[in-house]
Amino acid sequence: MKAGVIGLLFSATVLAQEAAATFGPLTQWVPRTWNGANYACKCHPGDYCWPKPIEWSNLNATVGGNLRVNIPIGAPCHNRFEGPLGTVNTYNAAQCAAVTAGFPDEQFQIEHPTAGLWTYFTNDTCRPTTNPTDSCTLGYYPALYITAKTIGHIQAGINFARKNNLRLIIRNTGHDFLGRSVGWGSLVINTHRFKSISTTNKWNGPGSYKGPAITAGAGVQAFEALQHLNSFKPPRIMVTGECATVGIAGGLVQGGGHGPLTNFYGFLADTALQFKVITADGTLRTANAQTNSDLFWALRGGGPAAFGVIVEATYKTFNDLPSSGINLDINLSTNTNETLYWEAVRKFHSYSNNFVDNGLYVYYEIGPVPLNLHVHPIVGINKTLPQLQAIVQPLFNDLNALGVGYTTSSQTFSSFYALYNAMFEGEMAGNSALTGGWTLARTDVENNHPSIIEAFKTVINAGSFIVGHMWSAGHGLPRNEWGNIAINPKFRNVVDKLITIVPVSGDAPLAAKEEAQNRLTNVVDGALRAASPNGASYINEADPFQPNWQDAFFGTNYPRLLQIRKKYDPNGVFYSVSTPGTEQWEQIETGTRLCKKL
């Protein structure tokens, strides 16, 4: 051998030994050097440790033939898919037409086992096109996936990934703003087929609660659970997210889970009674207030895809109640005076504390082009329309006094479920953007509101959008229950949770991506953090690359969460960006390989 080759082999051996000494007994760590630093990486396609075809074949047999090589959803519009495991002829005119039509539809993409509903973190590769000669590569999509249909399938996938040190992704259902459901060279376990639903009038498990409950499989979406509960007489309801397509037993509850009922019952995590969860060692465990209580606590707001794979979750249910809603729109088509527009926004947002103190939930959007305030809807649960109008009327009086032009409408419903279906607008898929966000604390709205509106202006002037959710997770929940879950304690004093959106193409040049990320972190969200220093960050809808993410996402709960993570997943079988225990992990080599820094 040449001296240079011997030197490279020696360096690789030393790095592998250092990785094994640092991260455990796995022999499949792949040594890499990136930007002058040494790393120990997961095993990816083309590495010496990548499983052989016979090993993949054996896994496929174990999971009932449900293992597939991943081909991006837009591939039928391209002549060929050129993937790391081979090239496949893919063009199909009829399928291309179906994909093109369905690409903006969330449910259409959810039914595809690996689609990234928001495409930025896929590298925006292989989108539907009218030119079949366009390149179609894997980008940052997973390499293979398992469509899991039994608990055994999930266990087999976890065990295989752990044994071979593969990057493993658990994909539940619904949107993912932070790229956690995709990852270059990874193996996906998709749990969308777990659709079981059962209910009971009396929970007989541990804890003081003995009322009605629902048990749902990992793939059950909010609209399915709500539809099922609405069929009872009298109809029932549960805490879900505002978006009807999101799964109720996966990342939603592990991030906390906020929605229109949060004013009354807290987060979805506050209503959780029990989980069936598979941990990194492949063991199916029950987690509740008595059994694996530390894991039960961590799964309720401690971070998605960090502690295990929830295959089944049980939650409290509640009586559905008559509800009313009001819509409001203000835009520059009726208000050409931008100063007056922002004064109207200030008046609207100044009612944040008042609205949540009266039990209202408010969903709104502020967009830059055209400049507009879109409030759809203001929700009054267990309120008649006159009662809701009485709470909101001071805002309309202020707008009338300003001379602001606006449009409004209102409706009353026999149940919240009816309002949910009628007044909440559907979400789109297929967009490419970076997502950030921050929450506004009650005290900051009281004492620093002019600065908050100036921060809103900064966000909009930077080309970003704002999506707001006014609620109070401490309003209807007894104070002695606030610390029962792992959510950042600061959330109990939040009155508005904001999502910020910076449009950028997933296949944009690296310099453009870096500029967009810097703008999101330091300009857009930086302004909000400065305006509301007592706020926090919601892990499912925020910038994972923000400074001090441990404190922003988890606050004083972080040390305990880190300890639990090390107990149940000491070698990092699971990975989800900016969750407990991921400080040393990076996606190096232009966002591809998942590695730990030595």
Question: pTM surpassing 0.85?
Answer: yes
pLDDT in tens, 506-561: 999 999 999 999 999 999 999 999 999 999 999 999 999 999 999 999 999 999 99
Could you tell me the end-to-end alpha-carbon distance of the chain, in angstroms, rounded to an integer?
A: 28
Q: What is the mean pLDDT of residues 108-123?
A: 90
Determine the average pLDDT of the residues in 178-197.
95
Cα–Cα distance for residue pair 464/141, rounded to 1 Å: 26
Helix axes 385-402, 338-349, angle to 10 degrees: 150
pLDDT for 18 beyond 70: no
Among 22, 58, 63, 19, smallest CA distance to 42 is for 19
Tokens of 431: 């967009």
pLDDT digits (tens, 9 = 90+) for 388-427: 999 999 999 999 999 998 999 999 999 999 999 999 998 8
Q: What is the pLDDT of residue 369?
A: 79
Per-residue pLDDT, 428:
87
DSSP string, 93-105: HHHHHHHHHHTTB
pLDDT grade, residue 116 (50/70/90)? confident
576 and 553 in contact (C-beta within 8 Å)? no
For the chain, what's the residue count?
598
Q: Which of 514, 504, 499 is nearest to 591 (CA)?
A: 514
Residue 21, pLDDT > 60, answer no
CA distance 348 to 82: 52
Measure the CA–CA gap between 476 and 260, rounded to whole angstroms.
12
Residue 327 pLDDT exceeds 50: yes
Closest CA to 323 of 237, 241, 408, 252: 237
Q: Is the per-residue pLDDT at 15 higher than 50?
A: no
Average pLDDT, the chain: 93
Domains of the chain: 53-190 (3.30.43.10), 197-319 (3.30.465.10), 323-556 (3.40.462.20)
In Å, how far from its chain's centre is CA 567? 24
What are the φ and ψ backbone dihedral angles of 411, each rounded to 5 degrees?
A: -150, 155
d(CA 561, CA 573): 16
Q: Is the pLDDT of residue 26 over 70?
A: no
Smallest Cα–Cα separation from 415: which of 390, 380, 386, 391?
A: 380
Burial zone of 561 (CB within 10 Å; 0-12 exposed, 13-18 middle, 19+ buried) = buried
pLDDT of residue 498: 98
- 173 vs 191: CA distance, rounded Å: 8
**Section 125-145 average pLDDT:** 95
Q: How many C-beta neighbours within 10 Å does residue 52 have?
A: 8
**pLDDT for the residue numbered 213:** 98
pLDDT band at 25 (very low <50, low <70, confident <90, very high): low
Task: Please list, in sequence order, all residues whose beta carbon lies within 8 angstroms of the beta carbon of residue 321, skipping any fewer than 6 positions away.
Answer: 237, 381, 382, 415, 416
Q: What is the pLDDT of residues 169-184, one digit of tens each?
A: 999 888 888 989 999 9
Q: Does residue 23 surpass a pLDDT of 90?
A: no
Mean pLDDT (whole number) for 292-306: 97
Structure tokens at 342: 């922002």
Which letter does DSSP use for residue 52 in this model? P
Strands ordered across the beta sheet of 494-503: 407-413, 323-331, 371-381, 360-368, 465-470, 494-503, 433-441
Output the pLDDT for position 335.
Answer: 62
Question: Using one digit for the tens of pLDDT, what is the confidence trace for 141-151?
Answer: 999 999 999 99
pLDDT confidence of residue 380: 98
pLDDT digits (tens, 9 = 90+) for 329-375: 998 766 678 999 999 999 999 999 999 999 999 999 999 878 899 99
pLDDT at 24: 53
DSSP state of 246: S
Residue 337: predicted pLDDT: 85
